[in-house]
A and B are shown apart, each in its own frame.
Chain A
Amino acid sequence: MLSYVVKRVLQMIPTLFGVSLLCFVIIHSVPGDPAHLIAGVDATDEQVQSVKEQLGLDRPLLEQYFSYVSHLLRGDLGESLQSERPVLQEIMTRFPNTILLTVFSVAIMVVVGLFAGILSATKPNSIRDNVTMMFSLFGISMPVFWFGTMLILLFSYYWPLLPSGGSSGFRHFILPSVVLGLSSSGVLARLTRSSILEVIHQDFIRTARAKGVKERIVIYKHTLKNALIPIITIIGLEFGTLLGGAVLTETVFSMNGLGRFIIQSIQFRDYPAVQGCILFVATIFVVVNLVVDLCYSAVDPRIRYE
């Protein structure tokens, strides 16, 4: 197991290297001269030149990339052009809000999604199944920014129970987490349903029922346990979607998180910050997927890592 973990961590390195290269290429494909953008519209040629020298933009591209990577390895993501503070510091002050939002949303997604999926799968093609699956489809199809706006309208304006924006206390996280959690629970409910239906017709379930095991135990112990692998995979993938989706939700609820910072940085053309944030989120996503992979063997002891 340990050797597998080491192997997987080592395998992550080329992916992260590729991610850094892609970030670098994306930011360096900005049409026009980035130094011009940074120095401002009415900057003199000398000012532009000094920005170039300061940021090393006058050096060959390959050299720039290597210097960028060497800074990255030392945890240096550059300096934000808006605040002139290190990008990593800017990220770290906002990241706790985003990660809290993501964790709350994942919790809501798992509870609602699993419950809805089990509800559907245990009585396939019934009214219950059809209604649940229709709700899941709505969840998948609903734009989060619209759902968020509607919840603000209902629970902040018409029925003032919760704040419409901000991120200073637990109450501020309720609406955004419900928005993200419920809209992604649709994907999980559909997948849970299909994974359970695949398992429920197998022989060992029939044996369990023939032995007289209670239906509740058949579902939760025998069926769900064997249907967990695809479910865990989708939870890992949704974690990334939620991190990305946080951009929209944080904007709707004016939260001081990483997603909103990315938007502000894009609007300000703060390229070091945009580059740093995207790299940061992608790295977390890669790590989460590794953790998901490692969870497989815990869930299914038949999976052995050699």
Chain B
Amino acid sequence: MSKTSILLMSREAGEAVYQRRSPWTLMIQRFKKNKRAIVGLWMVVIFVFVAVFARWLAPYDPIEQNMQSILNAPSLSHPFGTDEYGRDILSRVIYGAQISLMVGVVGVLISIVLGVALGTVAGYFGGKADLLIMRVMDVFMAFPSFLLALAIVSVLGPGMVNVMIAIGIFSVPTFARISRGSVMSVNGKEYIEAAKSMGSGHIRIIFKHVIPNSIAPIIVLSSMRIATAILTASGLSFLGMGAQPPTPELGAMLSSGRDYLRSDPYVSTIPGLAIMFMVLAFNMLGDGIRDALDPKMKL
């Protein structure tokens, strides 16, 4: 074996060791070992797939009424049965998953943008900005979260866009608080001091050093908050404050199915199961990411 090949081999081995030690590789390794997290990930993947390809997967139109097949029990042609307007429940659940997922993701994105911005400013600059921002967040935290979402929707009016806004706002304090704490723990580190001493501006330091190094808890929180957002949105629709008929929203479907609970329980049972499994998937994924990133993280 020539000297060069030995050198190359040792370099490869060195790289392999280096790769194995990179925090992301370690995280993925830990994640793969967690069976519950993998199941959660697959469930999320399936739900996303169903939501994205709803148009092609749904056997029937979710809105079109068919008075010939009102409240049919589950059968081969309608695996989940039909509702009080003869609409196929399977198709409505497929579209319902799309709506829930969209509300969850968009709502949480709104809160990430606002929450991380506020939390980073509070944690990085400290002083009066911190005091002011956190006091306002405390006021928001003084409201039980579902009630806050309800109050916002009652003002904005029913509708899915307003539900997204309400969900976006009600999660902001949680994101702000977590990101503030995370930023504060990064703030005293040497590399921030080094960047400051080299003359970097605040904006550059925040975007290049502070946010990338304090984002881990936000990633974990996001997955868990999507679960909460889906639950809250379906709760608001259940109360008639969210999606309006004939939109195939899971909470609204469950609510209207309650009128036929005694005779046709599947009309309200199936949408509820769909909500539960979606929320479960995101909770399992969130738990898995948390354990993989930092098992001691308090979230």
CB distance from B15 to the nearest CB of A (A): 34
A-B residue pairs, 6 tightest by C-beta: A244-B144, A146-B272, A18-B139, A244-B146, A141-B279, A141-B280
Given A245-B146, A262-B150 in contact, is the A143-B234 Cβ separation under 8 Å?
yes
What per-residue 1/0 map shows which CB atoms of A135-154 lie under 8 Å from chain B?
00110111111100110110
CA distance A263 to B280 in the complex (A): 28
B193 located at the interface, meaning its Cβ lies under 8 Å from any Cβ of chain A in the complex: no
B128 to chain A, nearest CB (A): 15
A contact residues around B276 at 8 Å (CB): 138, 141-143, 146
8 Å CB contact of B145 from A141, A244, A263: A244
The contact sample of 19 A-B pairs, CB cut-off 8 A, is A15-B135, A15-B142, A21-B139, A26-B152, A137-B284, A141-B276, A143-B238, A143-B254, A143-B279, A145-B238, A149-B268, A244-B144, A244-B150, A245-B146, A247-B239, A266-B150, A266-B154, A282-B142, A285-B142
B249 to chain A, nearest CB (A): 12
Q: What residues of chain B lie closer than 8 Å to A122, measured between beta carbons?
A: none
B271 / chain A contacts, CB cutoff of 8 Å: 146
Which of A27, A241, A263 contacts B155, CB < 8 Å?
A27
Docked-complex contact B147 and A278, CB < 8 angstroms: yes
How far apart are the CA atoms of A23 and B279 in the complex, in Å? 30
Contacting pair B151 A248 (CB below 8 A): no
Is B241 in contact with chain A by the CB < 8 A criterion? yes
Q: Is the CB of A248 within 8 A of B139?
A: no
Chain B residues whose C-beta falls within 8 Å of the C-beta of A142 in the assembled complex:
276, 279
Instruction: Indicate whether A286 reaches chain B with its CB closer than 8 angstroms.
Output: yes
**Across-interface contacts of A286 in B (CB, < 8 A):** 142
Binary A-proximity of B263-284 (CB < 8 A = 1, otherwise 0): 0010011011101110110011
Given A145-B255, A153-B261, 14 additional A-B pairs, CB 8 A:
A14-B135, A18-B139, A31-B156, A31-B157, A134-B36, A137-B280, A142-B279, A145-B272, A152-B261, A241-B145, A245-B146, A263-B239, A266-B154, A278-B143
- Indicate with 1 or 0, residue by residue over A150-161, a CB within 8 angstroms of chain B CB atoms: 101100010000
Q: Which residue of B lies closest to A11 (CB)?
A: B138
- For A144, what are the chain B residues with a Cβ–Cβ distance below 8 Å? 235
Asked if A29 is at the interface of the complex by the 8 Å CB criterion, the answer is yes
Interface residues of A in 4-39 (CB under 8 A from B): 14-16, 18-19, 21-23, 26-27, 29-31
Q: How far is the CB of A293 from chain B (nearest CB, A)?
A: 13
Size class of the contact patch on chain B:
35 or more
A21 to B140, CA, bound (A): 11
Say yes or no: A145 contacts B254, CB within 8 Å. yes
* A-B interface pairs (CB < 8 A), number: 134
A137 CA to B224 CA, complexed, in Å: 12
CB closest residue in chain B, given A152: B261
Interface string of A255-270 (1 = CB under 8 A from B): 0000000110011000
Q: In the complex, which of the residues B135, B157, B239, B273 has the most CB atoms of chain A within 10 Å of its own CB atom?
A: B239
Shortest distance between the CB of B292 and any CB in chain A (Å): 16
Decide yes or no whether A251 CB sits under 8 A from chain B. Answer: yes
Residue A106 lies at the interface, judged by CB distance under 8 Å to chain B: no
C-alpha gap A267/B150 in the complex (Å): 12
Residue A243 lies at the interface, judged by CB distance under 8 Å to chain B: yes
User: From residue 234 to 254 of chain A, which have CB atoms closer than 8 A to chain B?
Assistant: 240-241, 243-245, 247-248, 251
Q: Is B105 an interface residue (CB 8 A)?
A: no
Whether the pair B238, A274 counts as a contact (CB closer than 8 A) is no
Shortest distance between the CB of A115 and any CB in chain B (Å): 21
Partner of A281 from B135, B147, B273 at Cβ < 8 Å: B147
Determine the residue in chain B with the shortest Cβ distance to A230. B298
Contact of B258 with A by CB under 8 A = yes
